[in-house]
Amino acid sequence: MYTEKVMDHFRNPRNVGVIDNADGVGEVGNPVCGDMMTFYIKVKDHTITDVKYQTFGCGAAIAVSSMISELAIGKTLEEASHLTNNMVAEALGGLPEQKYHCSNLGADALHKAIEDYLSKHSDTLLKKENKQGINTTNENGREK
């Protein structure tokens, strides 16, 4: 039913925990199956330097959380925001059809953590872009 890679990540989950003073936090849940995931990220120079998570759910949900944490560490925010549910499932060697929704939660939780980071740092990012001479206004003179 599960691939060996799924079983490995379930039995030996990587990066479990909480990051105190995380730069971004994303939480998702599926009330139908009861799975809940919270992802915490640390960011330096637009790169994810650490990912931790807490997952309440089935073995597939734990394996997905573990895999997405490994896939995200070392990626830029832009690269990590392009990680898809299919990529997570493929990295695990596939998931049973009835458990595929678990991979959706993992990518969604990571994306929410990235969105949280960006919302907290939007002013800083705009100032940095302005110092570099990047135009941050549209043709009407409003911030993009």
Q: What is the pLDDT of residues 87-104, one digit of tens each?
A: 999 999 998 888 877 667
- Residue 20 inside a domain? The answer is yes
Report the distance separating Cα 128 and Cα 122, nearest Å.
Answer: 10
Q: Which of 7, 25, 33, 91 is catalytic?
A: 33
Q: What is the pLDDT of residues 37-54, one digit of tens each?
A: 999 999 999 999 999 999
Query: According to the model, what pLDDT value does residue 136 have?
Result: 42
Chain mean pLDDT for the chain: 86
pLDDT of 135 strictly over 60:
no
Q: Is 33 a catalytic residue?
A: yes
How many C-alpha atoms does 113 have within 13 Å on its Cβ side?
34
Q: Which of 43, 102, 107, 113 is catalytic?
A: 102
Query: According to the model, what pLDDT value does residue 125 have?
Result: 58
Total domains, the chain:
1
> 124 falls in which pLDDT band (50, 70, 90)?
low
- Residue 139 inside a domain? The answer is no
- Residue 88 inside a domain? The answer is yes
Query: According to the model, what pLDDT value does residue 137 have?
Result: 43
40: closest CA among 112, 96, 97?
A: 112
> Quick one: tokens of 82?
């392009």
- Residue 132 inside a domain? The answer is no
- Is the pTM higher than 0.85? The answer reads no
Q: Is 58 a catalytic residue?
A: no
- Residue 137 inside a domain? The answer is no
- Residue 135 inside a domain? The answer is no
- Residue 140 inside a domain? The answer is no
Q: What is the pLDDT of residues 2-28, one digit of tens each?
A: 999 999 999 999 999 999 999 999 999
pLDDT of 66 strictly over 50:
yes
CATH of the domain at 37: 3.90.1010.10
Report the distance separating Cα 142 and Cα 126, nearest Å.
Answer: 13
Residue whose tokens read 């849940």: 29
Question: Which residues form the domain of 19?
Answer: 4-127
State mean pLDDT over 60-85: 95
